[in-house]
Structure 1
Amino acid sequence: MAEKIVFDIAAKLLSSLGSIAIQQIGSEWGVEEELQKLQVTVSTIKNVLLDAQEKQKSDNLVKDWLQELKEILYDADDLLDEVATETKRRELETRNKLVRKVRYFLTSSNPLVFQHKVGSKIKGIVKRLNHIASLIDQFKFFVNQVERPIATIRREETFSWVNTRRIIGRRDDIDEFITSLSSGYQADVVIIPIVGIAEGEEEMHENLVNIGNEIVNNCGGVPLTVVTLGSLLASKTEEGYWLSVRDNEMWALAQRENKNDILPVLRLSYDEMPSNLKQCFAYCSLFERDEIIDGKKLLYAWIAQGFVQGDGNGELEDIGERYIQELVSRFFLEPYDARTFSNTTGREHYKMHGLVHSLAQDVAGNECLTIKRAITDAVPKMLRHVAFASETYSEFPRPLMEAKKLRTIFYPGKRNPTFGSSIETESTSFRSLRVCAFEDMISSPKKIRKLKLLRYLSLTEVDNLPKSLCKLLNLQYLDLYLSGDLELPKDFEKLINLRFLCLSTTSERLPKKGIGMLTSLRTLIIFHCEALRSLEGIKHLSCLRELALESCLKLPSLPDGLNFLTSLERLEISSCLFLNLSDDDLKGLERLKQLKLRNLQCLVSLPKGLLAADGKLTHLEIEWCTYFTSPSESVLPNLKSLESLKIWNCEKVGSLPEGMQGLRRLQSVSIVGCPLFITTYEGQEAERQKIAHVRKIELS
C-alpha cells in the first residue's frame, strides 16, 4: 500500500503537528523545538513524495526508501495520538488538585516522566527522518511544493458518461479495446472484461450500442441508445437487463479463461481511486474469500484506523458509507443478503469476489495478514493488521509477538473454543492497536487499559467488563453482543467518544447516567435483554441516528424520551413480545427514514405518531406481527416519501388502505405470507388498482 498513501499519511501528520492543541502541548511540555523540527522535516519530505512514488515503480531502492519512511510516519502518528490521549485523560481526571498531586507524582502518571519520554521519542523520530531526508539529493527527486487537493468521493462522479478530460486512464488500452469491439459480435466470442465503462469515448459508445442491440434483439427486446444502454449497465436493480455472467461476476461484462487477463483491468480501476479509498479496499483483504462482511463493522473499523476523515460534507458514518458505495460501484464489493433465521436484522452485508480479493491482498502487501495456519517464520516488519481465519488454532502465535506495532486484531468465533488466557493476555501487548475484535470470549482482557489508542472493541459473549474499560477515552465502537450478565462499569459515562454501542444486559433498566451521558452515540443496539422493563435515560442522545431494540421480552412500552431523538433516521423493533405502540409513539421522529417492526405480538395498527416522518420515511417493513390487521388509512397513505413497503407473514392483513394511489414515490411493494390479502388482491380489481403504479410488486 505504499503508492500515494504515504503522501496522505504525511499530510495527516503535518495537520496534527499544526493543530493548536499539539502546539500548546509543545509549549507547556518543553518539546516545542522538537515538534518544530519534526514539522519542518516532514514538510521537506512531503514535497518530494509525488515524484518518489513514481520512481519507486522502477527503482527498488526508492521503494525501500518509501517503506522505511512509511514506518517512521506510522510511529510519529502513534506518538502524537498518545500525546493527545494523555491530554484528554488529564482533562477528565485532574480536576481535583489533590488527585492531581497524588496521581501525578506517586504513580506512573507523573507528567515529568511522561514528558521526558515524549521528548526522547520525538528526538528519535526526528533523527530517523533526518536520515531519510538526507537521501533526497541522492535520488534526485523533483520537489513539488504545490498542495495536492484532498480527494473527496462524491456519488455524482460515478455516472457512466462524463467529460473525457476528467478521466484518468490508459489511452492505449482504450484503443485496443475499441479495436476488439469493432471486430464484430459473435455468439462464441470472448468479450474483454471491463470494470466500469471507459466513459466519454464516442466510438466506444457506438460499438457498445451495436453489440447491446444484438444482445437485446436476440432476447426479443427493443433497440438501445447510448443513454439507455448506459442506464441499463449502470443499474443493478433493473430486472431483466443486468447482464448475468458466469460465476456471478457482476464486475465484468464477460470473463476470459485466464484470470491474468482480468486482474490488470481491476488494477486500473484501483489505480484511479483516491488513496483513502485504496486504504479501505486493501483493508478488506483481511477477510477471507467469500466471507460475509458486515458493512457496519467494516465502516467503523475504517473510521478507527483513520481512513475515514471528516471533509465538511457529512458525518464520518456518511463519508464511510460513500466509500462503501464507491467500492460497490466499482464491483470491488458485492451486496449480499445476509437475512437468515438466526440473523434477521437485514443489515447491509457484502462479499468480495475471489479475483478482487487477490487484488486486495496484492495491494495490501506486507501490511495485512490473514493467519490460516501456524506461523514459523518471522513476520514482516511492516505488518499492521492481522485477522485469524475462522478455523485456525487457538493459541496466539509466538512470532506474532514481534509485531508490536499491530493496529488491528480480528479473532473470529470458533465452533469449539479452547482458547482463553493466551489471546486475551497477549493482545494487551500491542499498544498501537486501534481495532480489537474477539468472538466467543471467556473473559475480557484485564489489562485493557494499556490499549490507550483503541477505538474499536468487540467482545462477544464476554462474562465481565473490567473497570479499566472506562480508561479507553478514544473508544468509538463497543460491541458487547450476547453478553447478558454484564453490569456496566461505574464510570461508563467517561466513554464520551462512543459512536456505536451494542449491549445485552440482565438488568431491568439501563443506568440513566451511564447511557444518557454518551452524547456522541450515533448507533445504539439493545439486544437480548430479557428482563429489561425501562429505557428511560436515552432522551439525551440527541445525535442518535439508529436505534435497534431486539428480544427485549418484557419491555411494555417505548419511553417518552424516544420522541426527543430528533436525529433518529433508522428504528428497528424486533421480538419485543409485550411491547404495545400507542398513537403517541414515534411522533417526534421527524427525520425517520427507515422503520422496521418485527414479531410484535401486540401490534395491531401503525401509530399515528409516525405521521411526523411523512416527509422523510422511505422504507417501512412489518414482519411476523400476528395481530396486525391493516396499515392504517390515516397513516400509510399520508407517508408521501415512502419508496418501499414490505409486509411479511401478517396473516390478518386483508387489504391495503384507500389512498395508496397517492404514494407516487412508491417503487416496491412486497407482501408475502399474507393469505387474506392475496385472496382480496386476486379477486378485486379495486385492490389491484391501489398499487398498479408501483414498478416492482412481489406477492406470494
Structure 2
Amino acid sequence: MEKSIVSAVLEKLGSLLMIPEEIKQKVELALALEEEIGKVTVHFQGIQSVLQDAESKQVKDANVRNWLKRLKDIAYDVDDVLDEWRSAKLKPELDKEEKEAENFPLFKKIRRSISSLTFQTMLYYNIASKIKNINQQLDWVATEKDRYKFELEKEVEEPGRLITASFVDEDEVYGRLEETTVLVNMLVGENSSGVSRLDVISIVGMGGIGKTTLAQRVYNHRDVECHFDKRIWICVSDPFDEMRIAKEILEAFRGECPKLVGKDNILQEIRSCVLGKKMLLVLDDVWTEDATKWEQLKNSLKYCSLGSRILITTRNEKVAIIMGTPPSNLFLLNTLSQEECWSLLGHKALCGRTGEESKNLEDIGRKIAEKCQGLPLAAKILGGLLRFKKTREQWQLVLDSEIWDIEEAEQDLFPPLSLSYYELPLVLKQCISYCVVFPKDTIISKDELIKLWMAQDYLKGVQGEEMEIVGDEYFDELKMRSFFQDFKRDELDNGIMEYKMHDLVHDFLQVLTKTECLMIVNNGFEESKVDSYCERARHATLVRKEAAPTEPNIYHFKKLRSLFIDSSYHDTSSLSPYLPKLFDQLTCLRTLNLSNSLFRNSIEELPDEIGKLVHLRYLNLKNNRKLKELPESLCELCNLQTLNLKWCDSLKELPCGVGKIINLRHLENERTDLSLMAMPKGIGRLTNLQTLSVFVVADSNNAATLGDLQNLMHLRGLLKISGLGAVCDMAEAKKAELQKKQGLRALILDFTISKGVMSRRRQRTNDEKVLEALQPPPCLEKLEIWCYSSLTMFPNWMMGLTKLSHISLGSCLHLKSLPPLGTLPSLESLYIGEMSTVKVVKVQFLGVEREETSALPSSLETPLSSFIAFPSLKHLEFFDLKGWECWMPLTIREEEHVTVMPRLCSLTIGCCPKLMSLPNYILQNTSLKELDITRSPILSERCRKETGEDWLKISHIPSIIIDSLYIQVNNTSVEEFGVLQLQPLHSSSLSSENFLKAFTQN
C-alpha cells in the first residue's frame, strides 16, 4: 500500500515544476519552489527503492510499521497539496470561460488579469510553504530509513507455500460428497470436449476453501484409480518451473530422476512415456498467467490415450482459462454448509472429550463454526485451537472475540490469504483493500465500486484508456482471483451487477488496513475516546445505531478521504444541523456518501459549505426525497466525477453553474424528472459525461435545449429524454445527434409535457417529426417510447436497429396501428400498453406487407417465400388496449415458408375487454410455455378449461392463468389453483427505466 501511494505522488510531482512564465519572473519564488519540490522528489525516490524490504519487515517489526505509517501520512499530505494546487489553478480558467461570452469593458478585463496573476503568485507562495513543511517531516523519515538499513528493491520474498502431496486422511474430510461425485464423473466419463484426447479440468476457489483436499479425494477415489493407467500428482506453486514439472512427470513414469539434459530431450522422452497411456495429471496450486510456459509441455502430453485428464487447482479463474480449461470444465468451489463446517471443527475441537463434555460445549462450538463462514481452513484452525481450551468459559471467550484477535488463528490463517493478496499488483492491492469501507455482508454494486476507486485515483490505466474500462478490468481480475463471491447478474446482459466479499477476506483486509479504514458504530453520536492513530484515518464508515441531538465525533478525523454514513438504522435528516461544520472540518474528502436508505425523512437542504470540499470526486445523495435544491457552491467542486441524485424526486432544479463541474462523468438522476422543471443551460459544457440518466426538455429561454446534448459524445448506458412534448423545433432535435453517441445502449423517449411548461396542445405531427429526428445509434439494445401523440409510428431508422432486443411502447393514446416490428432480428421482449385507439393488430405488425383482407385474387399477390416474423421474440405483453377488437390471422399458402414467433415463451394480455380471439400462430405455438389472460372477458371465455372454443388449441401450454386462476396442465389431469391478484406489471406508475428488467423477471 505504501509503495503504491508513494509511486502515485512521484508521478504527480512533475506537474508542479511546470511553472508559468510570469511566475518564473519572480526569481526568488520560482527558485524556492523548485528547490522544495526537488527535495521532496529526491526523498521519495530514495524511499521508494527500499519500500519492498520495509513492507516485508513490518510484519515482525513494530518500529518499521510505525515508520511506514508516518511515511504514508506524509505521502497523503503531499497528494493533498498537489490536488489543492491543481484545483485552485483550474478555478480562474473556469470563471474566465463562463464569462467569455459576456461583454466586459477593457479596464475590467485588465483588472481581472492582474487579479488572476496576484492570485497565482499567492498560491505559489502557499504551495512552497506547505511543501517546505513536508520536507522537514521527510528529513526525519529519511534519517530513520538509513537507521533500519533496508535493502534496495529486489524480487519480493513471498510468504512460504505448503508443498502438497496426493495423500489425504478421509477421516479429516467433511462434506464435499456431491462435489466429489461430480468431479469423479468428469474424470472418468466420456471425453467432455469432444475434440481433445487430453481434457483439462480446473477447481477454482479462494485460499483455504479446500481445493487441494478435494483434488486429493478424487485422485484417491477407487473409480479414478481403476480408470487410469497412470496417475501423477505435482505441486506446482510459483514460479511455474516447466523443467522441474517435466522431470517430475518422467520420474513418475521411470521411477527415478531423469539424467537427461535439455528441454527438447526431456519433452521427447515424456512423449514416449505417455504414448498410448490413459493418464491423470494433477497440477496443484497453479499461479502462472504465462501461457508460453505451459504450451510446450502440454503438447508433449497430447500423445496419451483418449480419456486422459489434467486436473488443476488454482485461485485464479484466468489461470484456468490460460491452461486450456473449457468453460464446461471450470469447477467453481463454494464454501461448506454450516453443518459441514461444524462437523469439521467439532471433530478436531472435541477430540478426546467425553460425551457429556462434548454435549456441554456443542452449542458454543456451533456458533464459533458460524464465524468460519464455510471456509474449511478456518474450521480446522479454530478446531485445533479449541482442542486445548478446557472449559466452557474459555470457549465463550473465543466466541466473543473477533477471529483476528485470536493470535493463533491469525498466524495460521494469514499465510493462505496473504499469498493471494501479495501476488496482486500494487493497483489491485489498493482496490481490494478499499472494499473494507463496506460493513460485512454488504451487497455491493460493481459500478459504484468502480466509481469509488476512481474517486481515490486508483484507476490510472494506459494513456487514453477510460477509467471505467480500467476499473472493469480490475474488478474482473479480482473476481478471477476469488476475492469476491455471491454474484448477482443483470437479467438482460448477464453482466455482474452486485457481489459480496467473504467475511474472512474482509477480516483479513481489516487487519491490513486497521489504522487507515475505520468502521465506527456510534450509538447516538455520543462522544467516545478517539485514539491518536484514528485522527490520521483516511476512510471511515459511520454506522448510526441511534439518532440523538449530540454532535458526531467524526469531526476529529480531519484527514478523511472517504466518509460513508450508514443510514440503515436512521434516516439522514438528523444529520442536517451538523453538515455545515462537517464540511468545514473534513476538507480532504474525496468520497462522501449521504444516501438515505430508509426512504423516509431525509436531508432537506445541502449547506453552502459543500463548496469547501475542493477534493471531492464522489457525492452520493441518493433517496434524499425531501431535498428540493442544490446550492450554487456545489459548482465549485471542479474535481467532482460522480453525482448521485437517484430518487431525489423533490428536486426542482440543478444549479445554474453546473457547467463548471467539468470533470463530472456520471450524473445519476433517475426519477428526478418527476420534479425537475428543466436542465440548466451549462450542461452542454460537461463533455466528459458518460452517465446522464434523465434529460428534461422545457420550452424556456433559461433552460437547456435538446441541442445541448450535441457535445455530450461520451454518453453511454441509459438515457431518458422527458418533456419531448414541448419540442417544436425539429432542428434542435437533430442537433442532439443521438446517432453519434455509440455508447448508448438504452433510450427512453417520453413525450409527456413537463410540469410548468405551456399547456397548449401542439400538432400531433410534431411528435412524428421529433421522433424521426432523434435517430439513435445502430448499436441500441433497448428502446421505450411513452406518451407519443401522433397517429403513426414508423421512423425510418427503426428497422435499422438490428441489435434491439427490448421495446416498450406505452400511453400512445392516438396511435392507430402498430409499427412492423416483426422484422427486427434480435427483439426478445415487447411491451405494448395503454393504446385506446388501436382496434386492429394487422399482419403488417409481423413485418408482412400484404393485407389479409385484400380484395385482390391470391394469384395477383406476391407470395412471401421464406420469412420468419419475430425470430427472437420470447416475451410479449399487451396491456390496457381497451379498443382492441381483432388480432388479424396470417394465411400461409402452400408455396410459402413462413414462421411466426418460433421462440415465444410467454404471452400476457391484460385489460383488453373487446379482443375477440387469438390468431392460430399464437394458439398453436409449441414454444409457448406461459399464457396469462386477465380482465379480457371475451378472450377468457374462449380459453376456459375444456369448455372454451380454443381450449384444445392451447392445452399444450404448461402454464395457463385465466383471470388469476392458475391452470396446471399435465398428461393426465388439469388442476386449477387460485393465484394472488397482482397489479398490472406495466402500468404507467411503473418506472419506465425499470420496465425491461421487471418484464424479463416476470
Structure-2 residue corresponding to 1:544: 715
Matched-pair contact (CA < 8 Å) for 1:587–1:611:
no
Separation in 1, partners of 2:56, 2:69: 14
Separation in 2, partners of 1:647, 1:213: 51
Alignment-mate amino acid for residue 432 of structure 1? C
Cα shift readout 1:99-156 (whole Å, capped 9, x = no counterpart) = 688679999984444333222111111111111111222111112399x9xxxxxxxx
Query: What SS does the corresponding residue of 1:447 show, helix, strand or coil?
Result: helix
Cα shift readout 1:515-556 (whole Å, capped 9, x = no counterpart) = 111111111111899999974421221122233328869688
1:419 aligns with 2:559: no
2:821 maps to which of 632, 635, 644: 632
Q: Identify which range, 620-629 or 289-298, moves more after superposition.
A: 620-629
Paired positions, count: 639
Cα shift readout 1:462-506 (whole Å, capped 9, x = no counterpart) = 322222222111111112231533333232211111111123354
Equivalent residues in 2 for 1:171-570, closer than 5 Å: 172-175=161-164, 178-180=166-168, 195=205, 225-226=309-310, 246=336, 257=379, 264-312=415-463, 314-334=465-485, 336-337=487-488, 348-374=497-523, 376-379=528-531, 380-389=534-543, 391-393=545-547, 398-413=552-567, 414-415=570-571, 417-439=573-595, 440-460=602-622, 461=624, 462-481=627-646, 482-503=648-669, 504=672, 506-511=675-680, 513-526=681-694, 535-549=706-720, 559-564=733-738, 566-570=740-744
Q: Identify which range, 320-329 or 533-542, moves more after superposition.
A: 533-542
- The structural deviation recorded for 1:371 is 2.3
Structure showing the higher strand proportion among its residues: 2
1:16 aligns with 2:12: yes
Alignment-mate amino acid for residue 359 of structure 1? F
1:129 aligns with 2:129: no
Alignment-mate amino acid for residue 205 of structure 2? V
- The structural deviation recorded for 1:404 is 0.9
- The structural deviation recorded for 1:591 is 4.6
- The structural deviation recorded for 1:334 is 3.6
- The structural deviation recorded for 1:509 is 3.6
- The structural deviation recorded for 1:681 is 6.8
Query: What SS does the corresponding residue of 1:491 show, helix, strand or coil?
Result: helix
Separation in 2, partners of 1:403, 1:447: 18
| TM-score after normalising by structure 2 | 0.54
Matched-pair contact (CA < 8 Å) for 2:786–2:811:
yes
Structure-2 residue corresponding to 1:160: none
1:674 maps to which of 908, 920, 930: 908
- The structural deviation recorded for 1:242 is 5.9
Query: What SS does the corresponding residue of 1:18 show, helix, strand or coil?
Result: helix
Matched-pair contact (CA < 8 Å) for 1:465–1:486:
no
Structure-2 residue corresponding to 1:87: 89
Alignment-mate amino acid for residue 642 of structure 2? Y
Cα shift readout 1:27-47 (whole Å, capped 9, x = no counterpart) = 475211111111111111111
- The structural deviation recorded for 1:236 is 13
Separation in 2, partners of 1:669, 1:226: 39
Q: 1:508 to 1:42 in 2, by over 3 A?
A: same
- The structural deviation recorded for 1:431 is 1.5
- The structural deviation recorded for 1:417 is 3.4
Structure-1 residue corresponding to 2:997: none
2:47 maps to which of 45, 51, 55: 45
Unpaired runs of at least 5, structure 1: 149-167, 218-222, 689-697
Separation in 2, partners of 1:396, 1:322: 44
Q: Identify which range, 108-117 or 78-87, moves more after superposition.
A: 108-117
Q: 1:598 to 1:186 in 2, by over 3 A?
A: farther
Equivalent residues in 2 for 1:105-144, closer than 5 Å: 110-144=119-153
Matched-pair contact (CA < 8 Å) for 1:570–1:595:
no
Matched-pair contact (CA < 8 Å) for 1:191–1:253:
no
Greater gyration radius? 2
Structure-1 residue corresponding to 2:806: 621
- The structural deviation recorded for 1:61 is 1.1
Query: What SS does the corresponding residue of 1:540 show, helix, strand or coil?
Result: coil
Question: Aligned residues: percent identity?
Answer: 25
Q: Identify which range, 563-572 or 646-655, moves more after superposition.
A: 646-655
- The structural deviation recorded for 1:57 is 2.0
Q: 1:347 to 1:465 in 2, by over 3 A?
A: farther
Query: What SS does the corresponding residue of 2:579 show, helix, strand or coil?
Result: helix
Q: 1:185 to 1:40 in 2, by over 3 A?
A: closer
Matched-pair contact (CA < 8 Å) for 2:558–2:587:
yes
Matched-pair contact (CA < 8 Å) for 1:459–1:479:
yes
Separation in 1, partners of 2:467, 2:868: 39
Separation in 1, partners of 2:777, 2:552: 52
Query: What SS does the corresponding residue of 2:740 show, helix, strand or coil?
Result: coil
Alignment-mate amino acid for residue 633 of structure 1? G
Matched-pair contact (CA < 8 Å) for 2:17–2:37:
no
Q: Identify which range, 234-243 or 362-371, moves more after superposition.
A: 234-243
Alignment-mate amino acid for residue 631 of structure 2? P
Matched-pair contact (CA < 8 Å) for 2:738–2:775:
no
Alignment-mate amino acid for residue 376 of structure 1? S
1:684 aligns with 2:914: no
Matched-pair contact (CA < 8 Å) for 2:691–2:715:
yes
Alignment-mate amino acid for residue 89 of structure 1? K
Cα shift readout 1:339-374 (whole Å, capped 9, x = no counterpart) = 89xxxx999233333333323323322211222224
Separation in 2, partners of 1:608, 1:449: 47
Matched-pair contact (CA < 8 Å) for 2:559–2:588:
yes
Q: Identify which range, 520-529 or 309-318, moves more after superposition.
A: 520-529
Q: Identify which range, 453-462 or 24-33, moves more after superposition.
A: 24-33
Separation in 2, partners of 1:37, 1:656: 74
Matched-pair contact (CA < 8 Å) for 1:521–1:544:
yes
Query: What SS does the corresponding residue of 2:823 show, helix, strand or coil?
Result: coil
Q: 1:191 to 1:281 in 2, by over 3 A?
A: same
Cα shift readout 1:85-109 (whole Å, capped 9, x = no counterpart) = 1111132336888668867999998
Matched-pair contact (CA < 8 Å) for 2:810–2:833:
yes
